[in-house]
Structure 1
Amino acid sequence: MAGKPKLHYFNGRGRMETIRWMLSAAGIEFEEQFIESKADLEKLKKDGFLLFQQVPMVEIDGMKLVQSRAILNYIAEKYNLSGKDIKQRALIDMYSESSWDLGEMIMMLPWKYTDPKEREKETIAVLEKATGRYFSVFEKVLKDHGQDFLVGNQLSRADIQLLEAILATEELKADVLAKFPLLKAFKTRMSNIPNIKKFLQPGSPRKSPPDEKTIAEAMKIFH
């Protein structure tokens, strides 16, 4: 029997967080090998474990996978989170990529904008995109098909990644879903799925938003 997946990354959200979400939603336990210093990262590179010299890296099923989307694609296929046919997969990929784009903008805020005024200005811009470009579309999707899930009326990576993006956006503005009743109901439904509910509890592998200490530690490793 294969061992648990092992995740190699620093002790923070970054581009590993969606992978943590996906495995947890699928009910898969995993181990985390935190990269705590530049020496740890260099050792992984020297040992040939990082195909393109970068993390995240996930050891799973005898492979050492890098590239976040490749890892997510594998997990989604392995645990039946990628739809029943090619058309469902296309929709799931489209929705997942949109949530990824939003999540990426949010993730980069504390890293790219160290000046508080600049960060506040960019946060407003991100929130405008979140509601105008993304949440309005997902609200319409839910309204048009009238189902509990985004695609095929069953849980997929699209649902998981949208919930992650919603919660990350609410950390910037708590009432961001005020004008999106179907998304609010979606958030409640998804958050109460047992595996996801467990992941949202204190003490789970879910990471907190980055603070100044987390950012400083990561900078020492990767720069």
Structure 2
Amino acid sequence: MSVPKLLYFDIPGKAEAIRLCFTYAGIPFEDYRFKDREEFLAMKTSGKLVFGQVPALEVEDVILTQSTAILRYVAKLKAESALYPADPILAARVDAICDQESDAFMGLRVAKYKGRFGFKFLEDDKFKEQLDDTLANLNSEVIPRHLDALVAALKAGGTDWLAGTKGPSIADFCWAPVLKGIHEGKFTGDAKVLDAFPDLVAFLHKFYTLPAIAEYYKDTPETIDFSAKGRA
């Protein structure tokens, strides 16, 4: 089988979890990053992307889409990596944690990418105050509520991993880049959101110090520091 080709922009975004999953499992892949938006639009217009979205994974003559589906595919390529449990109950718990990530940030993604969700009219400056209030509410109430639930799931699982697996699963790969983005103030716009969740900061430290993950980022200019001191 040829090397899978991951298609995305030259940013972490939704593809970062997949890149890290390939890396952790030791599976060779081509990390293809569009040269510009026009290249992506040309592929979208061609009809190759089933839902007109990326990330997409080109495997032989098939293009897979939807990030969580791709994560499951990658995990199943190397069963010994234990990234997706064989036990159906545990697998369902992993799936639930992945789905919860979508629920937790649905409002934020609509507010950030208004046109994509049919709210392009909100880009008008007259709605700026309402949007600012919405983002403040998401950071102060909605997202913390979901993070509380994630901490509860982490503690209930009885391990260091979000779905209660013995080692990292695709659920951890799904959440880690998003939480990292929050902690760095690059996703929600409020880097202090995680200050109230030391268990999640500890999870991030454990995840990003996994040898394969640390090696992946060794040449990254920015230092990955999940302490409050490191962000100050």
Decide: shared fold, TM above 0.5.
yes
- Three-state SS of the structure 1 residue aligned to 2:32 is strand
Identical counterparts, % of pairs: 28
Pick aligned residue for 2:169 from 156, 171, 181 = 156
* TM-score, normalization by structure 2: 0.71
* C-alpha distance in 1 between matches for 2:48 and 2:170: 27
Give the drift of 1:109.
4.0
Select between 54-63 and 185-194 the one with higher mean Cα deviation. 54-63
Residue 11 in structure 1 maps to residue 13 in structure 2: no
**Aligned equivalent of 1:173:** 190
**Which structure 2 residues correspond to residues 118-133 of structure 1 after superposition, within 5 A?**
118-127=130-139, 128-132=141-145
Count how many residue pairs are aligned between Structure 1 and Structure 2: 201
The structural deviation recorded for 1:107 is 4.4
> Which amino acid in 2 is paired with 1:82?
Y
Which amino acid in 2 is paired with 1:144? A
What residue in structure 2 maps to residue 32 of structure 1?
32
Measure, in 2, the Cα distance between the counterparts of 1:162 and 1:56.
Answer: 16
Other structure's SS at 1:72 match: helix
Counterpart code for 2:147? F
SS of 1:178's partner is: helix
User: For residues 110 and 16 of structure 2, what CA distance do their matches in structure 1 show?
Assistant: 13
Cα offset for 1:45?
A: 4.2
* Paired residue secondary structure (2:64): strand
Higher relative contact order (CA 8 A, sep 6+): 1
| Residue 186 of structure 1: how far off its partner (Å) | 1.4
Aligned residue for 1:182?
199
**Matched-pair contact (CA < 8 Å) for 1:100–1:165:** no
Q: In the aligned structure 1, how far is the partner of 2:109 from the partner of 2:213?
A: 21
**Partner amino acid for 1:69?**
T
TM, length-normalised to structure 1: 0.73
Which structure 2 segments of 5+ residues have no match?
115-121, 222-232
Indicate the residue corresponding to 2:67 in structure 1. 68
What residue number does 2:213 align with?
A: 196
Residue 20 of structure 1 aligns with an amino acid whose one-letter code is R
The alpha-carbon distance between structure 1 residues 130 and 25, as it changes in their structure 2 partners (threshold 3 A), is farther
User: Match of 1:68, as an amino acid?
Assistant: S
- Does the CA-based 8 Å contact 2:83-2:169 persist in structure 1? yes
Gaps of 5+ in 1: 205-223
